[in-house]
Amino acid sequence: MDFRLSAEEKLILETVRSFVDAELMPLEPELGQAELEGRGQDFPDLETQRSLQLKARELGLWGLQTPEEFGGLGFGQQLMALITMEIHRCLVPFQFGGGADNILFEGTDAQKREYLLPTIAGERRSCFALTEPTAGSDATNIRLEAVPDGDDFILTGEKIFITGGNEADFAIVFAVTDRAKGARGGITAFLVDRAMGFTSRYIPTMGSWGPARLTFNRVRVPAGNVLGEVGKGFELAMRWIVNGRVVIPARAVGRAQRLLEMGVDYARQRVAFGHPIGDYQAIQWMLADSEVELEATRWLVMHAAWLQDEGLDNRHEASIAKLHGAEMANRVADRVLQIHGGMGYTKELPIERVCRDVRVFRIYEGTDEIQKRTIAKDLLRGTAGRGRWE
C-alpha cells in the first residue's frame, strides 16, 4: 500500500481546502446564530447550498465520484476520504454537486434518464429508505411490503430516520416482495417518486441531523421502477451501507481534527495558576490521546478505502474504521469540551454542537454493537485477523 499523493491529487486537496476556508468557514457564525434561533436544521438553505456547489464547479469540483462517462471526475475512495476529511473540518453542512447514490448507476437506461442524470445535474433529489421502526440494525427485518398488482407493485408501510427524506422528490425504497425467501431473495429496491403518493414528516433530533419518517399508504409503483432485479435489493442496500462505513469515519476525522486544533490553541492561550494550561500534564494527556486516536482512525479509513479502490472485499476493515472513528470523535469532542471548561459548554463555541452531532456516528450506518458483531463473526469464521495479510 502506498498512500503518497500524486501532484494532481495534492492540487485537488489544496483546492478543496481553499474552497472550505474561503466559502464555508465564513458561514459558521451565521450557522451559530441560526442554531440559537432554532433555525439550525435549515441552514444553509437549498438556494445557498446550490450557489456554493456552483462556485465549487467553477473550480472543477463537480461529480467527484461520478464516472467520467456521466460527466464526473471518477475519483477513487481514497481521494474521496481525504476530501471528506477536509470538508468536515467545517461545521457548515455541505456536499459537492454532480453526484448520485452509488446504486443509482445500476438502473436501466430509462431509469438513468429519469432519475440518475437529473440527480447528477442537481435537478432532482433522492433519499435512501431502508430503516424502519422495527428494522434498524437488523435490516433483514423490514416490514414494508410490495405486493404485485398487474404491471405494478403496491407499497404499504413506513420508513424512519431517512436522511434527506423531507427534501427528496424520489426515494430508493427497499420493500419485501417475497417474505418466504428472506433478505437474500425476498427484498427488492424501488424508485418511488413523491408524486406517486408517499408522504414525509420531520423528526427532531438532538443534533443538526434532520431525518424524516416516510409513510407509504398503498402507493402504486410501476414494475419498471424496480432498481436492479426483483429479490436482489438487499445486495444493493449493503453496497450503499458499506460505502457509508468508510465515509462516516472520514467525517469523524475532519470533525475531530478541527476540535483538536481548537483544544491546542486554547491550551496555549488559557492561563491558570500562572501558566498556560497546556503546561499541565492533565491537559497534555488529553491532547496526546486525541492525536493518537485521530491518526489511528485516519489510517484505518485509508486502508478500508484502498481495499475498495483495489476491488477487494473491505467489509471487515470498513466496520473497524466505522467503529473506531465513531467512538474516537465522541471521545475527542468530550476532551476538548473539558479543556475549554465552562466556555466549551456554552453555545458561544461550536464544541457543544459537535458533541451532539457526532453522537449519531455511533448509531447510523450500523451501530457500534453491529460493527463489533461483524468484526467478531469474521474472526470466528477465520476470514479476518493475521492470516488476511498472508
269/283 Cα distance (integer angstroms): 13
Q: How many other C-beta atoms are found inside a 10 Å radius of the C-beta of residue 5?
A: 14
With beta carbons less than 8 A apart as the criterion, state whether 173 and 129 touch: yes
First-residue to last-residue Cα distance in the chain: 14
d(CA 263, CA 245): 27
CB 225 within 8 A of CB 108: no
Alpha-carbon separation of residue 168 from 193, 199, 200, 203 (angstroms): 9, 11, 9, 15
Give residue 364's identity as a one-letter amino acid code: Y
Q: Are 305 and 80 in contact (CB under 8 A)?
A: yes
Indicate if the alpha-carbon torsion angle 367, 368, 373, 378 is positive or negative.
positive
Print burial letters for 104-127: b (CB count within 10 Å at least 16), e (below 16): bebbeeebbebbbbbbbebebbbb
Q: Can you spell out the DSSP letters for 83-145?
A: HHHHHTTSSS----SS---GGGGGS-HHHIIIIIHHHHHTS--EEEE--BTTBSS-GGG---E
8 Å CB contact between 293 and 248? no
d(CA 323, CA 326): 5
| Residue 84 · residue 254 · CB < 8 Å | yes
Largest pairwise CA distance in the chain: 80
Strand, helix or coil for residue 283: helix
CA distance 129 to 221: 15
> 48 and 118 in contact (C-beta within 8 Å)?
no
Catalytic residues: 365
CA distance 376 to 37: 45
